[in-house]
Each structure stands twice: as structure tokens, then as C-alpha cells.
Chain A
Amino acid sequence: MSNLVQFWEYTGFANCNFQYLLMICIGLIFIYLAIKKDWEPMLLVPIGFGIIIGNIPLFPGLSVGVYEEGSVLNILYQGVRQGWYPPLIFLGIGAMTDFSALISNPKLLLIGAAAQFGIFGAYAIALLLGFTPAEAGAIGIIGGADGPTAIFLSSRLAPDLMGAIAVSAYSYMALVPVIQPPIMRLLTTEKERLIRMKTPRAVSPTEKKIFPIVGFLLTAFIVPSGIPLLGMLFFGNLIKESGVTRRLAETARGPLIDVITILIGITVGCSTQADKFLQWSSIKIFILGFLSFVIATTAGVAFVKFFNLFLKEGNKINPLIGNAGVSAVPDAARISNNVGLEYDRTNYLLMHAMGPNVAGVIGSAVAAGILLGFLA
């Protein structure tokens, strides 16, 4: 009988409380949104299931929990904790990104820069809410709409908040189709939404090869602290464009990024153990994450409108691509395209929006490097 009692005490039922059940429900909602609504399934399915794994009530000391040193989950979690998964994700992103849209129309780079206001706007508000500068920097980076960058920076600046920051970043990335369109419609006029942009010129293979090398050298010399992300991003792009390392590029943008996405998703999910995650600060982080996305989208669209004041007729930019300055690739660009098509069924903005979208990836990596330099 005493054995049965002891066994019962080991079970999850005996150790369960309301907080764990709440987190399991959140995990189930993530999985539901991914499967039913098709919102970022590649991220939400692993994170959602990870949340469930991480919130099975455990008898402590079994060396199975994500925070228990030496456990399998803890070992896998080191890629997040030490920040080496994000650069590998960036390698894959580089290997799958075509920078042609940006090279053919380099002024779109500036939209990618403007959207980074979201990061620093959220940083300032986070300071007002009582977070330390390091924590505020880690929270602000959610506005870059870049999950790997958010994980990379928070692992360095505020490891205790990393779970909430990562889940917030990925959740809002999935919610980009919900958050951005109303802001885009609110800030643009009917006439602006109908602007047709020039067809991008064809970019030569030589230009594509030069871009990652020059791009890396310039950005890394300005922000050396961004080397892990920028280096991997541009290296990935070089192996794609070099034409002689096809196998490496295919591995980086295929199996490698898939493996890392699985590991990062599941371990970030696991890290949201109820006792560490369900805190007042997590709620504040979610609010700040939302605000940072709003500010980033607003800044991107407003910047294009401002920029258009200086551009000649015929060279003007459709402000609907301003939202794409956040680096949620390619979702933000897809939203520019979809909203544009709502007003003109023949005005395809996808290729144009990919310019600021990939510029946003570079911009958020640069911003992360700056925050790291200032605050780490």
C-alpha cells in the first residue's frame, strides 16, 4: 500500500496545480492555431508541444526537466541558453534568401532601418515599466519580429526572461497577419495604396556574389557585436550565390535549419515551466511585444510616406510595403502583397516588399549587435 502511495506521489497528477494546467492549455492553443489556422505551423507546433512537455508536473530530482542540469532537455536547451541555435538559423535564412529585390532597389534598405524604431520604442517603454536597461533591451528586440535574434539577445542580456521573450516574439510573428493590416490601412490613403512601383531590374550573378561579402564587411565593421548573426546570415547567402557550394547551401537551408527549428521550438516551449513563466513580468513582456510590433509597423509605413516626399513621380514607393521592414520573412512581405491586391487586383507588391523584408533581417541583427554592445 505504501508503495502505491509513493508511486502516486511521483505522478504528475499528485504534483499538478492550476498553473501547470493553464500552461498546458496555452500549449494546446498554440497547436490548434498552427493546425487549424495555419499560423506559423513550423514554429507553433514545436513550441506548443514543448510547452506541454515543459509543464508536465515533475517530481524534482529526476534529472528530466529542462532546468535540471545534465538532463537531455537541458543539454538541448544549451543551444538556446548559450545562444548558438540562432546563428545557425541565420545561416539557413541566408542560404534561402534572395537579396535581388534589395540589390536592384537599394533604397528599400532604409525602410528596413526605419522599422527598427519598434525595438527602441519598446525599449523606452520597458524602462518606464521598471525593467532594467538589459532586460528592456532584450524585450525591445521582440519588435524586430525575429525569433532567433530575440533568443540570441535575451540569452545574453536577460536569461531569466528568455522564455517569455521567445514565446512572445514567435507568437506575434504568427500574428503578423492580424496586427499589421489595420495599421497599414489606417496610415495610408486610397491614392497611396494604388501606387505602382517600377519593375525591379535583373540583378547579375556577380552582384549577388558581391552582396554578402560587402554587406558583411560593412555591417560587421560598424557593429562587430553583431558578428554571430550577421556573419552566419551573409555566409549562408554566399554559399547560396557562389554557385559552387550547392550542396552546402542545400544542407543549410534544408536539413540544418529544419533540425535547429525543431530543437529551438521544442526547447523554448519547454523553458516555459509554469513556476518560471507565469509571472507578472511575462504579462508585461507580452504587452510590450505587441506595442513593439505596432510601433515597428507604424514607423515603417510612416517612413515610406515621408520618403516619398523626396522621390520623383514614377519612383515613389507604395507605403503598403513599409510594414515589411520588420524581419518576419516572408510573412510581412506577403501581407504587403495581400493588402495591396485588395485595392488593385493587378498590383503585385510581393517582390518590392521582399526588399525591406530582408533589409529588416539585416537591420534587426545590427540593432541586436548595438544593444549587445551597449548593455552586455
Chain B
Amino acid sequence: MKHIKSLLIAGLILMGLNVSAQNQTDMRLNEYLVENTNDFQDDFGQQNAWFELFNTSYGTVNIGGCYLSNDINNLQKYIIPKGDVLTAIKPRQHVLFWADEQPFRGTFHVNFTLAESDTIYFVSSDGRTIIDRIAVRKDIEPNVSVGRSQDGVGSNDGKGEGWQIMPNTSPSTNNAGVDAKSKSSIMAEQDPYGVLIAITAMSVVFLALIILYFVFKFTGRLAIRNQQTRSDIATEGKIETVKAEENTGEAIAAISTALYLYAVDNEAHDEESFQITMRHTDRSYSPWSSKIYTLRQAPQVKKN
């Protein structure tokens, strides 16, 4: 039994480790631009093709050690350097890579271009698992990007479900997705007087507590029935109906006080734990703590 427990705990820990290692799977290719003649510039003042990754999760994901590629036969074409603090992508944030074939320019410059690419692959740090891929469209006009209509939403199998030609390029920022406006500002437009939210929220509060009401009404009935059955068994079938006298509030209060005082005085509990607690004795000497009785007898050395 002990072994099974240990295995179970070890399994759960391993599952936990597995989950944390898979945070990279929350990353998505989010937008790309193939021909950049008059769009975003990099730190070197150059206009090159770019593509964007988006962290769909609500935790920071470090993509250091992951790979980017445009070749299915060489998924490890570009390794995103480890140890760069900028590769830790904050929740729901974007990171931009320049496809300029000039990796010596920094972490975010890959060693391939989009003009020569049919598909972009984002590959896990194991170098094998493709986390996301997107087929690159070449039939797009210069300075027009292709992206997900909502950040991170859509397929990751390269078929382009959820992708569209973007009305405006949006490198390193939202693709007009759900995060573009705060919930509060959406609510201000939809429900300026707070009536809808009040009705909805009160309905939910009532719903939650009504469900609890029904559940505990039901369990209460079960408990009463169970109690009745036990009582019947205790009387061995000889059920005597005793008409209880009308209890007054004072009587109940007096009984409760008496029981409480009894419990306090005797340190009684609602439910006995059937455990004995051995407390340290205040006396300095006791046969239980005496070294004389607990130590082995000292060997006697006889001197002749």
C-alpha cells in the first residue's frame, strides 16, 4: 500500500513537471509580413520581413531554447538563445522576430527570410515537437501583413483557420483582439447604468445560493432520516413515542450554557479523537525521565 501511495505521489509530481514544461505550447505564431518596404523598422533602421509570436497564457513563458524554422527537415534551424531576459514573454504579450537572415544582429533576428519560406515553424525546446506552424502566403501586396483576427485564436496546424489579411499591420501589439479594449470600457458602452450587470450578477448570486439551498435541504432530510433509523435500531424495535414538552427559549439557553460550561471545565470535545496526548511534565524529576533508569548500567571495572 505504501508503495502504491509513493508511486501515486511520484506520478502526480511528474505530471506537474510535465505541465510546467509545456508552457511553451501556449505560444502562437500571430502575424507575419513578407515584403516590408515601408513598414516597421528594426533597431538597425532596416525594413525586413517579420513575424510575431503571442503568449496566449496568463503566465510568463520563456521561449529561450525553442526553435524557429522554415524547413520541416530541419526544425532546429534557428535556436532562440537561452539566457536572454527578453525571451521571457509576459502574459498575453507579443514578441517580434525579424526574418532577415542576419542572426548575428541579436536574439530576435533569425537565419532565414520569409520570401524563401513556405511555412514558418515554432518548435519546442526538445527540437521535435511543432507547437505552431503557418503556411506563408506570397500573394499579398507589399507592406500588408497576415495575422490572426483575434490574438492567439485559431488553428495551429498551418491551415490558417482564424487568420486573415490584416487591415493594418500591428507588429508587437494586439491584432484587434479581445484584449484591445478593457472589459470595463466594453461594459461602459453596453451597460452605462449598471442595470444589466446588476440583474445578471444578482441572478447568479441567487442561483448559486439556491442550488446550495436545495442540496442542503436534501442532505438535511437524509441526515434526519439516518438519525431516525439509528434511533430506531437503538431502541431494538421498541419505539416509544415520547411527546416532547414544549421547550422554551430560556430552557434551551440554560441547557446550552450548562453543557458549554461542562465541556469547558472538562475539556470535552464535540467529537472525541480517541487519541492520548502525553504532555511534558513540569517536575524536574520523574522515573520516566530519569537517566538512572533509562541508561544502561555502567560497566563496573574491577581492580585487583
Contact = CB atoms under 8 A, between A and B. Distances in A.
Contacts of B204: 222-223, 366, 370
A371 B208 CA distance: 15
Interface in A102-119: 102-104, 106-107, 109-110, 112-113, 116-117, 119
A206 B212 contact: no
Contacts of A159: none
A70 B183 CA distance: 32
A117 B202 contact: yes
Tell which of B198, B208, B213, B248 has the most Cβ of chain A within 10 Å. Answer: B208
Nearest to A124: B194
Tell which of A126, A203, A204 has the most Cβ of chain B within 10 Å. Answer: A204
B249 A347 contact: yes
A193 B250 CA distance: 18
Interface stretch (B44-52, B63-71, B219-227, B231-239): B219-227
Interface in B164-212: 182-185, 187-188, 191-195, 197-198, 200-202, 204-212
Given A120-B194, A367-B201, A374-B187, A218 B213 contact: no
B295 interface: no
Nearest to B211: A218
Interface in B135-188: 182-185, 187-188
Contact of A133 (B184, B201, B202, B209): B184
B217 interface: yes
Contacts of A103: 216, 220
B242 interface: no
Given A366-B208, A375-B187, A106 B216 contact: yes
A123 B194 contact: yes
Contacts of A359: 209
A370 B198 CA distance: 10
B270 A205 contact: yes
Contacts of A214: 212, 215-216, 219
Contact of B182 (A134, A211, A218): A134
Contact of A110 (B210, B226, B250): B210
Contacts of B194: 120, 123-124, 126-127, 133, 136
A374 B209 contact: no
A363 interface: yes
Interface in A201-220: 201, 203-207, 210-211, 214-215, 218-219
A74 to B, nearest CB: 22
Interface of chain B, main secondary structure: helix
Contacts, number: 137
Contacts of B185: 132-133
A339 to B, nearest CB: 16
Contacts of B198: 120-121, 123-124
Given A104-B220, A116-B205, A120-B201, A218 B212 contact: yes
A6 interface: no
B271 A243 contact: yes
Contact of B197 (A113, A123, A211, A366): A123
A279 interface: no
Interface residues of B, number: 45
Contact of B205 (A201, A207, A366): A366
B230 to A, nearest CB: 10
Interface string A280-294: 000000000000000
Interface string A74-102: 00000000000000000000000000001
A203 B205 contact: no
Contacts of B201: 116, 119-120, 367, 370-371, 374
A348 interface: yes
Contact of B184 (A132, A211, A243, A246): A132
Interface of chain A, main secondary structure: helix
Contacts of A244: 273
Contacts of A24: none
Tell which of B184, B217, B270 has the most Cβ of chain A within 10 Å. Answer: B184
A199 interface: yes
Nearest to B195: A124
Interface in A136-168: 136, 157
B301 interface: no
B273 A113 contact: no
A370 B216 CA distance: 23
Interface in B232-258: 247-250, 252-253
Interface in A322-376: 346-348, 359, 362-363, 366-367, 370-371, 374-376
A4 interface: no
26 contacts: A103-B220, A106-B216, A106-B217, A110-B206, A110-B213, A113-B206, A116-B202, A123-B197, A124-B194, A133-B188, A133-B194, A134-B182, A204-B226, A205-B270, A207-B219, A243-B271, A246-B273, A359-B209, A366-B209, A367-B201, A367-B205, A370-B201, A370-B204, A370-B205, A374-B183, A375-B183
Please give me the 4 A-B residue pairs with the lowest Cβ-Cβ distance, nearest first.
Answer: A120-B198, A134-B184, A124-B194, A106-B216
